[in-house]
Chains A and B, each alone.
Chain A
Amino acid sequence: MISRLLDWVDVRLGATHFVATSLRKAFPDHWSFMLGEINMYTFLVLLATGTFLAFFFDPNGAKTTYHGPYALLDGTTMSHAYASALKLSFEVNGGLLIRQVHHWAALIFVAGIIMHMGRVFFTGAFRKPREINWLIGLAMLMLAMFEGFAGYSMPDDLMSGTGLRIAVSILLSVPFVGAWASSLLAGGVFPDTEVMIPRLFVTHVYIIPAALATLMAMHLAILWRQKHTQFPGPGRTETNVVGSPLVPRYAAKSMGLLAAVVAICFALGAIVQINPVWDWGPYKPWEVMSPAQPDWYVGWLDGALRLGPPVAFHFFGHMIPSPFWMAVLLPLLLFILIAAWPWIEAAWTNDHRSHHLLDLPRAVPVRTSMGVAIMVFCLGLLLAGSGDVQARYVHEPITTITRFYQIFCLVAPIAAFFITYAFCVELRARRGVHEAPRVRLRRNAAGGYDEETIA
């Protein structure tokens, strides 16, 4: 049956060779190689749930009066967008579930990307010849952050409106073009939600998903072409890949992961409430919530804004206001550093060869320590983003919390660098002491045995 179908296709497309090698394509068995697939599958969940939501959400910033089952807001003036989000949540069967699944899947999507990037970074999989996929992956991370922000900015509730207000202020802070850009994109120096919601909608449901899908296809095509990396081991060399064949074993594992991702997204959507927009109320530019936090993948930027120095730069009648340093310059430098890392490392180690065998994180202490330092820095920013909540729990003034994180973000990454470095060196040394080198015995023609050391 399969072979007859293949014959039919092959006469028309000549794809037998490609299909045959693809069916038996080797997928390394290490669990960490499935982190990237979490993103592929949450993306599918996002597309499916997002399509459902798009049928009910009304991207219209014009005002209406709400009348519906949510009595607390009955008779309230609000935008059609917010009213449709309420209707979706309370009146559409399955609407609230799908909204929550969509939101949870978005949180997992970005988390998965970062975990996958971490695997690629700490094992050195980004090295030549995989720099292109490293850059594509980073581009997808940035797009995913924008996509998520655009998504939760659309319902026009008090939280989303406040977030948009801050985003426009950040755009406004860019030298030379800030005012023009916010004027063009936001309809003014103050965000006009009536202008922005339809634009966010087009961006969120069409432009960024199309870009993500395109980049994902490129990412996979390049992966297919270059084949997987692998950890060193018996029989594994720079010139081969050892693993399960795609069909049937790896495909079954991967489908298992897909189903597990769907299960987790739906379980979270069913059990754990997220972004109850009806609690926030409609956006009014003169109202705000306290405490107020964005979704986690934007939280580190919000934290950075909180920690920023209250310093504006004045010259010749122009100014660069304080949000620029932390919300524009800092992420820009961070992303440039991450993007350039494959070249930085190649130049520094003077290693311009191709690598298909991975490093254990301990094997390259400087890289590993650098990665940990960056993660600790970002974690500090993220935690600072909820400093006001922590202040309530520890009964300290918010200024103390902010000062703590300012010091943390300066000191902890450096400390983390040296601690990680020491751990790597120690772990590397231990392996030499406690583990005898592994050898393979091979019978030789003379009837004796030859020893062959395995890396």
Chain B
Amino acid sequence: MMIKDRVIAFSLIVAMLGAVLFIVAYATGGNRLFEGLAVAFAAAGLSGAAIGWAFWIFPDEQVVDERDVAVEGRSDAPVGSARDFEEIAQTEAALMTTTRRGVLTRMLYAALGLFGIAMVVPVRSFGPALGETIPFHTKWRKGSRMQREDGTFVKATDLNVDSFTTVFPEGAIGDEQSQTMLIRVQDGLAQSADGYLAYSKVCTHAGCPVALYRTDSKQMMCPCHQSVFDVVRDGKVVSGPADHALPRLPIEIAPDGYVVATGDFPEPVGPGFWNEDV
């Protein structure tokens, strides 16, 4: 390798190290100084390599272009003239000098690729880590009382047969994934606590609130895409596009008369996805 090639190679190594350093700095907490200097090194390395290429590798040519501004009546050439093709061929020949330096070219690609990756990595800043957001658990706990949106607690005497209300676990009013439909059916229709049944209100299809309840058929329906779930048969899908049943919240009537959960939903609520086989 000629000394000039080594200078370029050195620049590219600096560029690659800078890109890697940036990714490391970003991944380890984002120190502004390290991140910024790493990008600066990466870009400076690319800059050095490009300038080295321009001065030392590509041929030193001079071309003459005729000015056509202020030349009146010049007609546009509709297709490339012979001269155009000649110029393109010359450019290609000049570019070909690059490929004769295989190692440098490969290093250039590596440096550009790493720089590209480094520039995409900060997308991570947009959102929380996956582990922090996957809702494998809701806020329902053993003994959680049920609170309506207005803050009142639900007692076993509150609901008439064939009525329903939206409830949240005590202290978590408005928590999306904990939203629950509490329905009272005739005692004995299903295994229930005094006729009380509770299902996740998040549709297992596309996540809309399953807000409609038909008293005659004891079915819940999601108004978005019309998935229908059977209340007295464990929330099974009756019709519509939902691919699995509504999770049922285990509940009981506490001795003091409040309706309480005896635990969290046995499975994740809401639509299923890749990482979560339900």
- Seen from chain A, the residues whose Cβ lies within 8 Å of a Cβ on chain B are 10-14, 16-18, 162, 165-166, 168-170, 172-180, 183-190, 195, 284-292, 302, 305-312, 314, 317-323, 326, 387-388, 398-399, 402
A contact residues around B130 at 8 Å (CB): 179-180, 183
**27 A–B contacts, CB within 8 A, in A order:** A14-B70, A16-B72, A17-B74, A162-B208, A169-B207, A169-B270, A172-B271, A178-B274, A179-B134, A185-B127, A189-B135, A189-B270, A286-B174, A286-B201, A290-B212, A292-B224, A306-B241, A307-B241, A312-B243, A312-B244, A312-B272, A318-B274, A322-B243, A326-B241, A398-B226, A399-B226, A402-B240
Q: Is the CB of A286 within 8 A of B176?
A: yes
* Chain A residues positioned under 8 Å from B74 (CB to CB): 14, 17
The CA-CA distance from A124 to B137 in the complex, in Å, is: 55
A186: chain B residues within 8 A (beta carbon): 127
State whether the Cβ of B205 lies closer than 8 Å to any Cβ in chain A.
yes
Contact surface of B with A, Cβ cutoff 8 Å: 68-76, 123-124, 126-130, 133-135, 149, 166, 174, 176-177, 179, 201, 205-209, 211-212, 221-228, 237, 239-244, 270-278
Ranked nearest first, the 7 interchain pairs of A and B with the lowest CB-CB distance are A290-B223, A14-B69, A312-B243, A184-B127, A285-B176, A169-B206, A322-B243
| A175 near B274: Cβ-Cβ < 8 Å | yes
For the A-B complex, the count of residue pairs with Cβ-Cβ distances under 8 Å equals 172
Query: Chain B: which residue is nearest A312 at the CB level?
Result: B243
For B210, give the chain A residue with the smallest CB separation: A288
In the complex, besides A183-B127, A183-B133, 4 extra interface pairs with C-beta distance below 8 angstroms are A288-B209, A288-B222, A306-B226, A310-B241
Instruction: Knowing A307-B241, A310-B241 are in contact, say whether A319-B273 is a contact too (CB < 8 A).
Output: yes
Closest CB-CB distance, B206 to chain A, in whole Å?
4
Task: Provide the bound-state CA to CA distance between A319 and B176, in Å.
Answer: 23
B72 near A288 (CB under 8 angstroms)?
A: no
Q: Which of A14, A169, A302, A398 contacts B71 (CB 8 A)?
A: A14
Known contacts A173-B271, A318-B275, A319-B277; A187/B70 CB under 8 A: no
Contact between A165 and B237 (Cβ–Cβ < 8 Å)? no
Inter-subunit contact A310/B127 (CB<8 Å): no
Q: How far apart are the CA atoms of A168 and B207 in the complex, in Å? A: 9
Cβ A176 vs Cβ B208 within 8 A: no
CA distance A140 to B121 in the complex (A): 28
| Nearest CB of B to A393, in Å | 16
* CA distance in complex: A284, B166 (Å): 12
| Residues of A with C-beta under 8 A to B271 | 169, 172-173, 321, 323
> Is A189 touching B128 in the complex (CB atoms < 8 A)?
no
Asked if residues B69 and A320 are in contact (CB atoms below 8 Å), the reply is: no
A17 pairs with B206, CB closer than 8 A: no
**A286:B179 contact, CB within 8 angstroms:** yes
Indicate which residue in A166, A174, A175 contacts B208 across the interface (CB closer than 8 Å). A166
Report if A288-B223 is in contact (Cβ < 8 Å); known contacts: A12-B69, A14-B71: yes
Assuming the contacts A310-B241, A402-B240, asked whether A190 and B126 have C-beta atoms less than 8 A apart, the reply is no
Cβ contacts under 8 Å, B223 to chain A: 288-292, 388
Q: Chain B contacts of A176 at CB under 8 A?
A: 274
- Residues in B with CB closer than 8 Å to A306 are 225-226, 240-241
Distance between Cα atoms of A307 and B241 in the complex (Å): 7
Given contacts A321-B271, A322-B243, A402-B226, contact A288 B206 (CB under 8 A): no
Tell me the nearest residue of chain B to A77, going by C-beta: B174
Which chain B residues border A402 with CB–CB below 8 Å? 226, 239-240
Whether B226 pairs with A10 at a CB distance below 8 angstroms is no
State the CA gap A177–B275 with chains docked (Å): 9
Residue of B176, B206, B277 touching A166 (CB-CB under 8 A): B206
With a CB–CB cut-off of 8 A, which chain A residues contact B276? Answer: 179, 319
A11: nearest chain-B partner, CB-CB = B70
- Contacts A17-B73, A166-B224: A305 and B212 contacting too (C-beta < 8 A)? no
| B43, chain A: closest CB distance, angstroms | 24
With both chains docked as a complex, state the minimum distance between the C-beta of B185 and any C-beta of chain A, in angstroms.
Answer: 21
User: With A and B bound together, what is the CA distance between A292 and B222 in angstroms?
Assistant: 11
Report the separation of the CA atoms of residues A179 and B177 in the bound assembly, to the nearest whole angstrom. 16
Q: Provide the residues of chain A in CB contact with B179, threshold 8 Å.
A: 285-286
Q: Tell me the minimal C-beta distance from B235 to chain A in angstroms.
A: 14
> Please, how many angstroms separate the alpha-carbon atoms of A326 and B240 in the complex?
13
Give A308 to B225 CA distance when docked, in angstroms.
Answer: 9
B274 contacts which chain A residues (CB < 8 A)?
Answer: 174-179, 318-320
Say whether B76 contacts A17, CB under 8 Å: yes
- Closest B-chain residue to A311, C-beta based? B243
State the CA gap A291–B126 with chains docked (Å).
Answer: 34
| CB nearest to B72 among chain A residues | A16
Knowing A11-B70, A165-B207, A178-B274 are in contact, say whether A187-B128 is a contact too (CB < 8 A): yes
A308 to B149, CA, bound (A): 33
A318 — which chain B residues lie within 8 A by C-beta?
274-275, 277
CB closest residue in chain A, given B168: A286
In angstroms, how far is the closest chain A Cβ from the Cβ of B26?
Answer: 15
